[in-house]
A = this chain, B = another copy of it.
Amino acid sequence: MSSSAPLDNDRLLRALLREPVDRTPVWLMRQAGRYLPEYRETRAKAGSFMGLAGNPELACEVTLQPLRRFRLDAAILFSDILTVPDAMGLGLGFAEGEGPRFDRPVRSRAEIDALGVPDPERDLRYVMDAVRLIRRELGGRVPLIGFAGSPWTLATYMVEGASTRDFRRVKGLMFDEPAALHALLGRLAEAVALYLDAQVAAGAQAVMVFDTWGGVLSPAAYREFSLDYMARVVAGVRRSHDGRRVPVVLFTKGGGAWIEDIAATGCDAVGLDWTTDLGDARARVGSRVALQGNLDPCVLYASPVTIREHVGQVLASFGRGSGHVFNLGHGLHPGMDPEHVGACIEAVHALSPAHHG
């Protein structure tokens, strides 16, 4: 099947563009991940996280695994937000149980100025090959979402060198050498836009920017150091491919206070964590953007009956009509029970048609 074949299920794209749908589309952040035994098996075969994400066949396999189990309305590329800084030469590694780590963090203006902007088809070829392979294997069943980290979020890892609680180093740069941080963010905005644009060219039908750490900033710093650079990314990605509009979703965890500003970037949809009420958010942004979210992932630790009740509350809080993509407010946890994940997805199938048509 050619990659330009029509989609069997285009609910995700329609909802992201506020076009009518018969029910609310659903996908879940980290739907391909450690909570699935088949994922853990493939991951073991790959030897390491980058052995998995860096191998197009294995990345395609784990991308498709949740779609074999669950009635999901989208696939999302299996990869990591840190592939871009890795391709910039920082040396990405994952220490067991410790999260990501860079061998060569970037802290001085000279180190920032020495960074190149990766050419996606040359320096991130394994990602582009994975996108092409997944599109082929999906055969038009559901759309494929591409993604990248936001410039600010990538900068936090690049400057800190590892996970951090207080963001001391990157905020030190922000407060004492803002020009150096702006230089880094400008380069990252360029790299991320090129990267997402290449994913679209390779077959991604929607793209999402994960701003995992925008919420640790003050409102003024968020606008200056995170949002402005996401706006550049939005402006730099082609928005149509194969005659269809390619929606862009921006997700700032902890950014519920700033959704009007996020919507003003020109994105098509805003991702929300569970600390903002969907109905309030919809009242604030109107029909300018779609909303994606926002069940507290911890609900999936509860019983299937409770899960269904909370799914119903999320659907009801958005209310009638299109413009909602059901998701969690954050990724699935490794310890979650696949049956509970299935209960969540089935509840969206069962309860959402009443909010449409």
Contact = CB atoms under 8 A, between A and B. Distances in A.
Contacts of A333: 166, 168
Q: Which of A215, A217, A221, A302 has the most chain B CB atoms closer than 10 A to its own CB?
A: A302
A194 to B, nearest CB: 31
B175 A299 contact: yes
A175 B298 contact: yes
Contact of A167 (B167, B298, B302): B298
A220 interface: yes
Interface in A273-305: 274-277, 280, 296-299, 301-303
A171 to B, nearest CB: 4
Interface in A184-215: 215
A151 B91 CA distance: 45
Contacts of A218: 274-275, 277, 296
Contacts of A310: 175
Contacts of A256: 257
Interface string A177-188: 000000000000
Nearest to A277: B219
Interface residues of A, number: 35
A301 B257 contact: no
A353 interface: no
Nearest to A258: B275
Q: Which of A216, A218, A313 has the most chain B CB atoms closer than 10 A to its own CB?
A: A218
Contacts of A298: 166-168, 171-172, 175
Copies in the complex: 2
A274 B277 CA distance: 21
B254 A257 contact: no
B254 A301 contact: no
A175 B254 contact: no
A230 to B, nearest CB: 17
Given A256-B257, A257-B276, A168 B301 contact: yes
A248 B351 CA distance: 44
A306 interface: yes
A301 B217 contact: no
B175 A306 contact: yes
A8 interface: no
Interface in A213-235: 215-222
A176 interface: yes
A133 to B, nearest CB: 33
A279 B301 CA distance: 39
A253 to B, nearest CB: 11
A247 to B, nearest CB: 26
A221 B280 CA distance: 15
Contacts of A220: 277, 313
Interface string A160-175: 0000001110011001
